[in-house]
Amino acid sequence: MLIGQLALVLVPQARTLPVSVSVLLVLLLAWRWLLWRQRAPLPSKLVVGTTAMLVLLIAAALVWRGGGSFGRELCVALLAAFVILKLMETRALADATLVTQLSFYLLLTLYLEDQPFWLALYSMAIGAWILRNWLLFHHPEARGRLAIWPLLGRMALFGLPWALFLFVLFPRLDHPLWRLPQSEPVGRTGISDTMRPGSIGELIRSPEVAFRADIVGDPLPASALYWRARVLWDYDGQAWRPDDAPPTRQAAGLRDEGDDGDEAADPAAAGAREYNVTLEATQKNWLYLLDRGVAVSDGVAARHSADGEFFARNPVDRPLRYRARSWLQGVPQPLTRRTLQLSLRLPDGNPRSRELAAGWRQRYADPWQRVQAAMRLFAEAPFAYTLSPPPLGKAQVDTFLFDTRRGFCEHYASSFVFLMRAAGVPARVVIGYQGGEYNPLGKHYVIRQSDAHAWAEVWLPERGWVRVDPTSAVAPSRVENGVDAALAGEDLAALRQLRAPGWLRDLRWGFDGLTYKWQRWVLEYDRGQQNRLLEQAGMGNRLPQLLAAGMAVLSLAALVPMWLRRRRVDPVQALYDQFCAMLARHGIARGMAEGPQAFATRAESALPRAALAVRAFTDQYVAWRYGAPDTTTQASAVARLRKALQDLGRSLRQKPF
């Protein structure tokens, strides 16, 4: 039982532990299993101590390889290894109890990485199994005399109201009391703040969820779902990077989900859409908002740049839920001198592209006409949208526009912005996500890493920054139907393996909906959601009164099992208790260790007038309680005992001779 429960506790740890550590734990557990299987003697203290030193040396090597980082994964691995080593020397009940208790600690470490809903169900099931084993270790006779699983079920039902009550009244802290150490070598996929050829194409092959979002009101078309992450200004001929120090200010606060208020009373909200985003851990501090974001939840404490970027105070190292508001149309913005310099700056090189852009500048006085000229170039020339473009030389833009003409969204956005700047039109690159799958069951969007995208923005007089997506000129279906609708051949086959078709899609939507609800109502249940829940229940600021009332009600409810147990008293035993009490009133009290026959004999000697009645009642009680089972029903036995008790009462009321 100990080996089995420890194996079940350690199986989910394989999600987060390094492969080498997982192999080591499997070897240690297999060693202990072989010793039990072969009934071999347990290893000596010297062997166990040597193995422990070897484990410590392996841990030290991993720390040295990680640059001195002693993260939580290694801490969990050491705990698991030493619990298994403790199992190597388990010979007595105290050792088994200690291993069982440490198994609970290992079970809790599963929540240090993430908290999916399936893990809660799994840990509750394994916890019940450990409790069952613990009971059997200390009371082996319980296996045949006690229904263990119904007992554990009743315990869980008794504790469930308390768990729900405490969960509602004591929400998750807005900020943790401490932060667990992170392991440095853990890589995270996601949008980076640097864009170079192939950087976004690598993300397209990943099915991982970047974030989920539910729009307040009607769903939006895919062409409106541009989720902004970073704005890139600086181009060195190889990669695009953001401005070194963009000015930021405190982002406008927004009331949280469920507290809609009167939107018409807020003039800044007219024409805007609100939505909720549940962002997965990215280890980055930028947030994702629909294009032209204007506000986020007050609790996030985000900062807002002039480029429409939103930054959290700390890197997002756990799922983060926030409410946001965005304009879905361009807002006129002034172009400062510094912004003008950034949006026209170009590195040396790419002469053919410069010559093409210079011709547009001479031919078209209106900047928008130059934009349309570039879009016609992408639409009419034989460009191809592919995940496997050929490599580019030093003159990346020239090579792409005039030679290879095969690329992904970053190729088109980069070359378009280069052409616009060379043509005298202020332009910049924007990276983020475009589109997302709509889950009809959960009524929310799922944005994956495969939805990563890059587009451009140009500044036009009287219109400000205007979004232009050059990819739409080459592959319009990319914007309308997603990236898999724009690819073909091997690229399409590789991508569609990430998304299950047919009935599997419905199953995936159901699982995703459960995950989203779990994150929304359990993992992200904080003080704001508690206040809204109390307001909806009409309790407002009555948290102390609710706490006192809830404690009183649950305390009284805890007495119900005792009351039910009293009602389930054996009627035969109840009659015998009355028999003993009746004799006690006449000076014959039964001793605690006195049996029914011995007590009856003593009562007959002390009360001769009631001797026959005492013997008749005792014989019937002993026959029912200790005799061989027969066809007599309990009801008939109770009736006979009750009559015998009445006869005893009449005998005792008679005056002695």
Reported as a single tens digit per residue, the pLDDT across 587-599 is: 899 988 899 999 9
Q: Is residue 295 part of a domain?
A: no
Q: Which residues of the chain have pLDDT under 70?
A: 66-70, 144-145, 173-189, 245-247, 255-271, 329-331, 477-505, 540, 561-569, 628-632, 634, 655-657
Has 174 been annotated as catalytic?
no
Q: Which residues contact 494 (CB under 8 A, 6 or more apart)?
A: 205, 387
Q: For residues 54 and 23, what is the distance between their CA atoms, to the nearest angstrom?
A: 14
Q: Is residue 109 part of a domain?
A: yes
CA dihedral 263, 268, 270, 276 (to 10 degrees): -60
Q: How far apart are the first and last CA of the chain?
A: 70
Q: For residues 120 and 280, what is the distance between their CA atoms, to the nearest angstrom?
A: 19
Name the 3-class secondary structure at 520: helix
Selecting among 256, 451, 453, 512, the annotated active-site residue is 453
Selecting among 451, 469, 491, 512, the annotated active-site residue is 469
Q: How many CA atoms lie within 13 A of 473 on its CB side?
A: 21
Looking at residue 331, its pLDDT comes to 64
Q: Which residues contact 635 (CB under 8 A, 6 or more apart)?
A: none
Looking at residue 240, its pLDDT comes to 93
Using an 8 Å Cβ cutoff, are 308 and 228 in contact? yes
Tokens of 362: 């001479």
Q: Is residue 134 part of a domain?
A: yes
Looking at residue 490, its pLDDT comes to 47
Pairing of strands 452-460, 248-250: unpaired
Q: Which residues contact 252 (CB under 8 A, 6 or more apart)?
A: 268, 294, 295, 296, 304
Domain stops at, among 169, 191, 216: 169
Tokens of 141: 């006779």
Only one residue has tokens 């419905």, namely: 506
Nearest one of 343, 344, 491, 494 to 407, comparing CA atoms: 491
Q: Where does 499-598 show beta strands of DSSP type E?
A: none
Give the neighbor-by-neighbor strand order of the sheet with 289-290: 289-290, 226-232, 427-434, 452-460, 464-468
Has 266 been annotated as catalytic?
no
Q: Which residues form the domain of 108?
A: 2-169
Q: Which residues contact 515 (CB under 8 A, 6 or more apart)?
A: 116, 117
Q: Is residue 647 part of a domain?
A: yes
Tokens of 476: 């319009």
Selecting among 243, 307, 409, 491, the annotated active-site residue is 409
Has 469 been annotated as catalytic?
yes
Nearest one of 104, 105, 85 to 95, comparing CA atoms: 85
Q: Is residue 438 part of a domain?
A: no
Q: Identify the H or E element spanning 293.
A: strand 293-297
User: Residue 58, Cβ neighbours under 10 Å: how many?
Assistant: 17
DSSP string spanning 186-212? ----S--S-B-TTHHHHHHT---EEEE
Q: For residues 566 and 35, what is the distance between their CA atoms, to the nearest angstrom?
A: 49
As for how many domains the chain has, the answer is 2
Tokens of 8: 């079940």
Tokens of 289: 């908002």
Using an 8 Å Cβ cutoff, are 329 and 362 in contact? no
R_g of the chain computed on alpha carbons: 37
Model pLDDT for residues 518-565, shown as the tens digit of each residue: 877 787 777 777 777 777 777 767 777 777 887 788 777 777 766 666
Nearest one of 387, 397, 413, 429 to 473, comparing CA atoms: 413
Q: Is residue 617 part of a domain?
A: yes
Domain stops at, among 169, 187, 216: 169
Q: Is residue 182 part of a domain?
A: no
Burial (0-12, 13-18, 19+ Cβ within 10 Å), 176: exposed
Q: Is residue 632 part of a domain?
A: yes
Domain stops at, among 118, 148, 169: 169
Tokens of 574: 């109840």
